[in-house]
Chain A
C-alpha cells in the first residue's frame, strides 16, 4: 500500500477589537476583513472579548465576513465578549447559535 500524503498550510488571521463595534466603525472593520479575505485568508478569529457594545450594524459586518469565509471553505470564529451587554445582540438575534463562538481563555 502506498500513501500519497499532501500537506497544506492554512493561513489564519486573528483580529482583536475593543471598545464599540457599531454603525460608526463597522465600515472600517468590513474594510479590514475584506483586505484579509482578499489575500486568501478565510480562517479568521475575531477576538471580541474586550468589546463593550455591539449593535446590529456591527453584527452585520460579522455576518458578512462569516458568509464569505464559509463560501471559501473557511470560517469566522468569535471569542465571546466578556461584557454581557455586548453579547446581548448575538442572543437577541439568535446569532449565538450561528457563529462559532468560544470564551476567552
Chain B
C-alpha cells in the first residue's frame, strides 16, 4: 500500500501528481506513466478539491491518501475529518453552467466511487480500472 498525507490546501494538492507518478512507475503493467497519471490525477484532484473547499471550507485540516494495486484495479482511499457534506448535492450540468462538473468527471474516470462517514471521519473510495497483473507480479498489498 502507498500512503500520502497532505494539508487541506489547494496548493498542496499539486503534490498528488508526483505521488501518482511514483506509484505508477512501480506498476509493471504500466508502459506509459504520463498517459496513465492524467485521468487518475484529475479524478483524485477533483475529489480532494471538493474536500478542501466544501468540506473543510478552506480551514486547516488534512487529507490522507492510500493506494493499493489489486489484480485488475487501483484502489484509492481518501480519509478526512472535515464536516460532512453531501457530494450528491453538488449540481450536475444539463446545460453550460459554471459549477458542478467535479463529480461528473470523477464518475466517468472511475469504476467505482463511494463515500461513507464513520466517527466524524469521511472515507471516500475510488477504484480505477488497471491492466491485469501477471500472477507472478501481483502486487496486492505491495508498497
- Chain A residues with a Cβ under 8 A of chain B: 20, 22-24, 53, 55-57, 59-60, 63-64, 66-67, 83-85, 88-89, 92-93, 95, 98
Contact = CB atoms under 8 A, between A and B. Distances in A.
B97 A56 contact: no
A59 B49 CA distance: 14
Interface of B: 10-11, 13-14, 17, 34-35, 37-39, 41-42, 45-46, 49, 52-53, 93, 96-99, 101-102, 104-105, 108-109
A53 B45 CA distance: 11
A89 B104 CA distance: 10
B93 A55 contact: no
Contacts, number: 65
A92 B104 contact: yes
A84 B109 CA distance: 14
Contacts of A59: 101
Contact of A89 (B10, B35, B105): B105
Q: Binding site of A, secondary structure by majority: helix, strand, loop or mixed?
A: helix
Contact of A24 (B10, B41, B96, B101): B10
A92 B11 CA distance: 24
A84 B38 CA distance: 9
Contacts of B104: 92-93
Contacts of B99: 56, 60
B53 A56 contact: no
Contact of A60 (B11, B37, B39, B101): B101
A63 B10 contact: no
A22 B98 CA distance: 14
17 contacts: A22-B10, A23-B10, A23-B13, A23-B49, A23-B53, A53-B38, A53-B41, A56-B101, A56-B102, A64-B98, A66-B96, A85-B37, A85-B41, A88-B42, A92-B108, A93-B105, A98-B96
